[in-house]
Amino acid sequence: MNIESFREYCLKKKGASESYPFDKDTLVLKVMNKMFALCPLEKLPLSVNLKCDPERAVELREKYEAVSPGYHMNKKYWITVILDNSVPDRELRQWIDFSYDLVVRGLKKEDRLKLDAMK
């Protein structure tokens, strides 16, 4: 998966938006103003950070060389995935879905209701 298909997939999620709150080179994807993915665009090799369940994060790091603890993030709850095509796109999309779902589950009730009301 390349960065553009990653970005497009993330932005198709209900309530998803993109911004550059840290600097002009770090793409941040949010749902209801909460981060579920980010990508430092100028850092090579290209990688993305995704929120992850701590136990699952350990499993993914053991299974894939391209997965490491979240770079500049809470390493217990975030993973960094190098976009070198060693992780099948189908799996990466599942990880994006899981990251998005984790963030949605953690939203305040008011924000979840607003999200549910979106088309």
Domain spans, the chain: 3-109
CATH architecture of 3-109: Alpha-Beta Complex (3.90)
Taking only the tens place, the pLDDT of each residue in 80-100 is 999 999 999 999 999 999 999
DSSP 8-state assignment for residue 21 = S
The confidence score (pLDDT) of residue 72 equals 84
Q: Helices (H) and strands (E) in the chain — how many of each?
A: 4, 6
Structure token digits, residue 77: 């709850």
Mean pLDDT in runs of 10 for the chain (119 residues)?
A: 94 97 96 96 93 95 95 91 96 97 96 92
DSSP 8-state assignment for residue 99 = H
The confidence score (pLDDT) of residue 71 equals 84
What is the distance, to the nearest Å, from the Cα of residue 77 to the centroid of all Cα atoms in its chain? 11
| Average per-residue pLDDT for the chain | 95
Cβ neighbours of residue 29 closer than 8 Å, sequence gap 6 or more: 7, 10, 11, 16, 17, 18, 35, 36, 37, 38
